[in-house]
Structure 1
Amino acid sequence: MDAIEEQVQLPSGASPLQDYARHYAVDANGRMGAGRGRIIGVYLLPEPPRPTGPGIGCSEVVVQPNGQETLKDVPCPLEGQGKGDVSAGERRWFDDVEALPTINDGGCMMVTVIFNPSTQRVELAECNGGA
């Protein structure tokens, strides 16, 4: 992780490295298309806190004894929960690339990095696509 972060140059439009939660795994079988043995880095900007309060956020349906359905305010789950979320500036190693968190679209909210351990070089650092 240190070798990658010492040399990675984030793409234009990306935030500073310390703003990202950084996740890494070895692509042992070449499943991510980067080539066998490459290290895949997924850098994610943590989501800002969601507003809370009555009528804001998430609800669940509660069925009353009379069969009537009502809504109850509940905390919203965070996206990516259960994927080993880390905070901005922190990093984590995963045992399998399939466990790396990801988002759809998002532009530079997600940066993908590919590192070749045999050459000790970053081969790619790019922002995620946009819708």
Structure 2
Amino acid sequence: MPIELLRYLAYLSFFVFLAVIIWLFIMFVMSFFIPKAMFDKYFKEPYFSRTEIAVFSAFPLNFFRVAMFMRLAGWPSSGKRRGMTEAYLLAPIWFRRISKVMIRILLVLFPSIVVLGLFFALVAVLDT
């Protein structure tokens, strides 16, 4: 395999990981902006079990909670299974729009990491 290709893939992986770090920082900031009405109404029983509430309240899984509420604000039908299809009405329009953008970025970044990781693992195995 040409060294130039590996160099460009290394650059790409660096920028993807940098984008993930920036995305995580923005998600940390967004955790303070989850609409209180939405959080108070839906982050309790019967929508979540006691175990889920305890687990998703502590670091690092609180990022999953933020992503869940952002997905719920951006795509109301995603709360169908838990009966939270009206939750998006409690979120302001700016939160819904940011949620759609951030979740779409998530859906691009994390598969990119997996593909790059598998590619580098394959190169390492085939190179030996």
**TM-score normalised by the chain length of structure 1:** 0.26
Instruction: Identify the structure with bigger relative contact order (alpha carbons < 8 Å, sequence gap 6+).
Output: 1
